Amino acid sequence: MSAQCCAGQLACCCGSAGCSLCCDCCPRIRQSLSTRFMYALYFILVVVLCCIMMSTTVAHKMKEHIPFFEDMCKGIKAGDTCEKLVGYSAVYRVCFGMACFFFIFCLLTLKINNSKSCRAHIHNGFWFFKLLLLGAMCSGAFFIPDQDTFLNAWRYVGAVGGFLFIGIQLLLLVEFAHKWNKNWTAGTASNKLWYASLALVTLIMYSIATGGLVLMAVFYTQKDGCMENKILLGVNGGLCLLISLVAISPWVQNRQPHSGLLQSGVISCYVTYLTFSALSSKPAEVVLDEHGKNVTICVPDFGQDLYRDENLVTILGTSLLIGCILYSCLTSTTRSSSDALQGRYAAPELEIARCCFCFSPGGEDTEEQQPGKEGPRVIYDEKKGTVYIYSYFHFVFFLASLYVMMTVTNWFNYESANIESFFSGSWSIFWVKMASCWICVLLYLCTLVAPLCCPTREFSV
């Protein structure tokens, strides 16, 4: 019995399907899904560590409650109060180790077509040793010589990678809008109810976008002042109107019959969301009222009490940040997303209209779902071909590591950054979100105008 237990524990550390092999209470899970879950778990652990390093509250609590804290810090040569293990420079080093970890696996998994090769086994297993490797690389970054030069150079690498990560998400959003419209439009040939579905969803999208802009005009502007907010709301509202008019213009319709209001409605909703997110990230404006008291303006009154509870805002904001980044990583690493970024689309005549059009009729992969030899709880679904592109998966997480590094350290205002003030307002975060909003509109306009500028070239959107 003890031998079987040891074997089960060894499988958890080294096997190709993680701990689901030795846990009878775990549900049946695909190998491709369990592998991505484990890498995502590693990513979450490092992100949480980065947030702790940027927290002044945690640093003070540790200093107060850990006995011989200063002696311990001096013993590991981290400074008198472990200042080398906190702050933006520590986050830069940890994210450098995580980025190197994913980049190495990106190179290791190039050109893998199924899960039978040796490199595929490394990708899908050996989780304990991978955790040790990740920890060693994150720790080893603290021993890099000439730290000032390293931090300055790594900052620019992080900025490029962070913007590239944002760009990939924006490209996939535009592709998602086109794919949605094309899929549901294909269903109108056999069932006219798809027209009603298109009209209903389009109406909902524009209602959300219009309602959101109106609510922001009510809560984020005042009769006197808040001129920046008024200008930004006017500009972004005008951009939503512009893309809607261009999408249904006759010259665009002649070249792209599938272009319509559904795509522009999706983009308008995303523009509204980014506008709200940017205004929420904007530093609060404080003025003196007639009684000489400080008054915060240009923010909702009901949000002022919430922002006073820094711990609550920090926990909620950090959870939301991790969730959004993970969602972006996992949704942009599917094979269909990778094909879309490379300009490969299914032929229109092969489209089958479905409510859940993002997935194939049988899911991401319909290959053999029989238990493998190593255990009954894992479905080995990649024997004939991989469900996702391994190297591209690691490359997206490599970029996500850089994006986390720049976001948690407040982009270019890194010296005064901490996780508590991160969610209460930052000009860097504000302008990054506004720039993302405008780039998204520009990308969508390019997909509409490009066929007009290059009439001899075929565009598959």
Query: Is position 326 within any domain?
Result: yes
Which range of residues forms the domain containing residue 336?
A: 28-343+378-453
- Residue 145: the pLDDT is 81
Tokens of residue 88, six digits: 């933006």
- Residue 99: the pLDDT is 94
Query: Is position 23 within any domain?
Result: no
Query: Is position 365 within any domain?
Result: no
Point out the residues of the chain with pLDDT beneath 50: 1-12, 15-23, 303, 306-310, 362-376
CB 419 within 8 A of CB 408: yes
- The terminus-to-terminus CA distance of the chain in angstroms comes to 59
CB 45 within 8 A of CB 95: no
Query: Is position 15 within any domain?
Result: no
Pairing mode, strands 375-379 and 294-297: unpaired
Q: Indicate the number of domains in the chain.
A: 1
Query: Is position 320 within any domain?
Result: yes
Q: Cα–Cα distances in Å, from 132 out to 50, 84, 104?
A: 18, 22, 15
Please write the tens of the pLDDT for every residue from 236-260.
999 999 999 999 898 888 888 778 8
CB 221 within 8 A of CB 215: no
Query: Is position 20 within any domain?
Result: no
Please write the tens of the pLDDT for every residue from 128-185.
999 999 999 998 888 888 777 888 888 889 889 988 888 888 887 888 888 888 878 8
Query: Is position 176 within any domain?
Result: yes
Query: Is position 10 within any domain?
Result: no
| Sign of the alpha-carbon dihedral angle for 90, 93, 95, 101 | negative
pTM above 0.95, yes or no: no
Task: Supply φ then ψ for residue 371, to 5 degrees.
Answer: -60, 145
- Residue 396: the pLDDT is 87
